[in-house]
Structure 1
Amino acid sequence: MAAGALAAGALAAGLPTVSAQAKGNYPIGIQLYTVREWMNQDPVGTLKQLAAIGYTLLESYQGDKGIYFGLKPAEFTKIAHDLGMTLFASHFNLGKTAESSITEAATMGLKYMIVPYNELTSLETTKRAVEEYTRLGELCQKHGIQFGYHNHGYDFETFEGVVPYELFLKQIDPKLMIMEMELYWFARMKVDPLTFIQKYPGRFPIWHVKDMDKQDRTANTEVGKGSIDYKRLFAHANQAGLQYSVVEQDGHFHPSVWPSLTTSLGATKILGR
C-alpha cells in the first residue's frame, strides 16, 4: 500500500460530548468507501494512515469483503479503538443479509445503519421502499440502533408528481429513519438542501461532505476546492439537526489520496466551528 510515512500518534478515542456538539464543533468522520482500494488491500495499514491524518470516526459500507473488510467484527473494532477511532456507522445492503447485518452491528456498538442505494424507478417502487424502510427502522430500533437513508440523484426524480425524497420525509416516522444528506448529489441535481432543512428541521443529523469540481459537475473534489457553498449550508447546521459530518470523495484526488483527505478534514473542521 502506497501510504507514505505515518504521523506520530492519533487523536483520543470516543465520541464528542453533547456540550461540544452544542458549540457547533460537529464531529468529523470518513466514509471508508473513499479509500476502498486501500482498505481491500491492507485494512490495518489504511486505518493507521487515517488515524495519523486525524480522523477519529469511521463510517463503513458493505462491499465484497463485508462491513469489516474481511476481518472479524470484534477484531476490526479493536484495531480501530486502539488507533483512537470509533466505527460509529455503516452503510448496508438491502436483501437477505440486512437483518443479520443489523444484529451484528448492534453487537459491535454501532450507532447508525444506513441504506445507501435502492433503485427507484416508479411511484410503486418508491411506495415499496417506504414500507421496507419502516420495517428496517423498527428492526433497528429493537436493537438500539438508528436506521438511516443516504440519497443519490434518483431520489429527486418525479414519479406521477411525487418526489421520493419528499415522500420518505412525509410518510416515514422520523424516529424510525434519519436522513444522511449527501450534499454533492443535492448540488448535482440542482436541489437546494435548505428547502428540505427548513421544511423538515432536525431530520438531517449526518451530512456527507464532498465538493463538486468547478470544471466538471460529474466529478467531486476536496472540501473547499469546489463549487458548493458550504459556508451557507453550515450556517443552518443547527436547524438541520447536524451531529456528524462525514468526508467522502469518489476518486479525483489532488494530488493523491492522503493529501486530499488531509485537506478535506482541515476544511471541514473550519466549517464546523
Structure 2
Amino acid sequence: MTSRRTFIINSSLAAAAVLAMPSFAFAMNKKEIGLQLYTLREELPKDIKATLAKVSSAGFTTVETYGFSIRDQFWGVSAAEFKAILDANDLKAVSGHYGIGSFLDDGDTTELKAAIAASKTLESAYLTIPWVDPPFRKNSDDYKKIAGRLNEAGKMCREAGLKLAYHNHDFEFESHNGVTGYEILLKETDKDLVHFEMDLYWVVRSGKDPLQLFRENPGRFTMWHVKDMDKLNPALNTGVGSGSIDFKSIFKEAKRAGMKYFFVEQENNFAGNSFDSIKKSCDFISNNLIRQ
C-alpha cells in the first residue's frame, strides 16, 4: 500500500521531472535539422510550393536558400511571397546563400544591399557568401582583400540585424606561400562580424580535419553543411550516413565548433529520387547524431 508520504515524494519527483523536461527538450530541439535547398535545384524552380511541402514532410524544420537575384527574386516569386510559402510549411529560412556581384573585388554594394533586404524579408539570421570567383582569389593578397571586404559586409549585416557567414569549398585550402586561403580568412576577419559555415564534405575532400579546425578556431563555425562522401568515388556525394565521413565524432564537437545550425546538402549521386534521399538523411541524423 502506498503511504501518503511515499505518494507525496513520488509526486514531487514526477513534478520535478516535468519541470525539467522543457529545458531538456530545448537542448534537443535547438539544433533543428535543416536542408540547403540547392539539393533540390532541379525540382524547386518548377514547383516551389510542392517542393517545400515535401521538404517539410521529410522532417526538416529549417532551410538555407539559394538562387536569389535582383531581377527574378526567387524564381519569379518575391521574397515576401517566398516567405509566405515557407510559413505555410512551418519552415524557417535561417540562412541564405547570396551572390553579391563584384563586391569582394571592387566594393560595389548594389547586390549586397539587395541580398540584405531579401534576408530581412525572410527573417533570416544569416546572410552567407557561398563562393568566390577564381579571378578574385589567385594569391594571399587576394584573400587578405576578401577578408577586408567580408569585414565590411559583416558591418552592413550587423547594422541590418543580420549576421554574415562565409561558406567554403576546397579551393580555400590551397597553399599560397605556405599559408592557405582559409587560414588567412580566419585570421584576417573579425570574429564578431564574420562567421563561418563549414562545408564538412569539402574540408574532408581537401584532406583537412574538421576537428583540428574546431580546436584551432573554437566558436567560429556557427553553421555546417552536412554532406557525405561516396565510399567508392570521393568526387560524389551520397546520403548522410551512407558515406565515408565520420559524422558522429564531428557532432560530438558541435559545442567547441560553435555550431548553431546545420544543413543537409547533396549535390549529386541520389539513390532513387532526391526526396527519398533527403528523407533518409534526415532520419539518420535524427536517430544517430542529435541524440548523443
Larger of the two Rg values belongs to structure: 2
Q: CA deviation at 1:103?
A: 2.4
**Gap change, CA 1:220 and 1:24, over 3 Å in 2:** same
Q: What residue in structure 1 maps to residue 5 of structure 2?
A: none
**Gap change, CA 1:87 and 1:24, over 3 Å in 2:** closer
**Gap change, CA 1:196 and 1:145, over 3 Å in 2:** same
Matched, 1:115 2:129: yes
CA distance in 1, matches of 2:23, 2:77: 32
Q: What residue in structure 1 maps to residue 152 of structure 2?
A: 135
Higher-helix-fraction structure: 2
CA distance in 2, matches of 1:205, 1:18: 21
Contact 1:25 / 1:272 at 8 angstroms: preserved in 2? no
CA distance in 2, matches of 1:184, 1:128: 26
Secondary structure class of the residue paired with 1:202: coil
Q: What residue in structure 1 maps to residue 16 of structure 2?
A: none
Matched, 1:158 2:175: yes
Q: CA deviation at 1:257?
A: 0.7
Contact 2:201 / 2:228 at 8 angstroms: preserved in 1? yes
Secondary structure class of the residue paired with 1:181: strand
Matched, 1:80 2:97: no
**Gap change, CA 1:21 and 1:177, over 3 Å in 2:** farther
Q: What residue in structure 2 maps to residue 125 of structure 1?
A: 142
Q: CA RMSD in A?
A: 1.8
Identity %: 35
Contact 1:61 / 1:67 at 8 angstroms: preserved in 2? no
Question: Out of 173, 198, 202, which is 2:215 matched to?
Answer: 198
Secondary structure class of the residue paired with 2:179: coil
Question: CA offsets per residue over residues 122-165 of structure 1, 9 Å max, x none?
Answer: 11221110111111101000000000000000010011222111
Contact 2:80 / 2:121 at 8 angstroms: preserved in 1? no
Q: What residue in structure 2 maps to residue 105 of structure 1?
A: 119
Structure 2: runs of 5+ lacking an equivalent: 1-21, 102-109
Length, aligned pairs only: 257
Secondary structure class of the residue paired with 1:40: coil
Matched, 1:148 2:174: no
Question: CA offsets per residue over residues 180-210 of structure 1, 9 Å max, x none?
Answer: 0100001111100111100111111111001
**Gap change, CA 1:238 and 1:21, over 3 Å in 2:** farther
Secondary structure class of the residue paired with 1:190: coil
Using structure 1 for the length normalisation, give the TM-score: 0.89
CA distance in 2, matches of 1:20, 1:180: 25
Q: What residue in structure 2 maps to residue 219 of structure 1?
A: 236
Q: What residue in structure 2 maps to residue 271 of structure 1?
A: 289
Matched ranges for 1:233-272 at <5 A: 233-269=250-286, 270-272=288-290
Higher relative contact order (CA 8 A, sep 6+): 1
Structure 1: runs of 5+ lacking an equivalent: 1-16
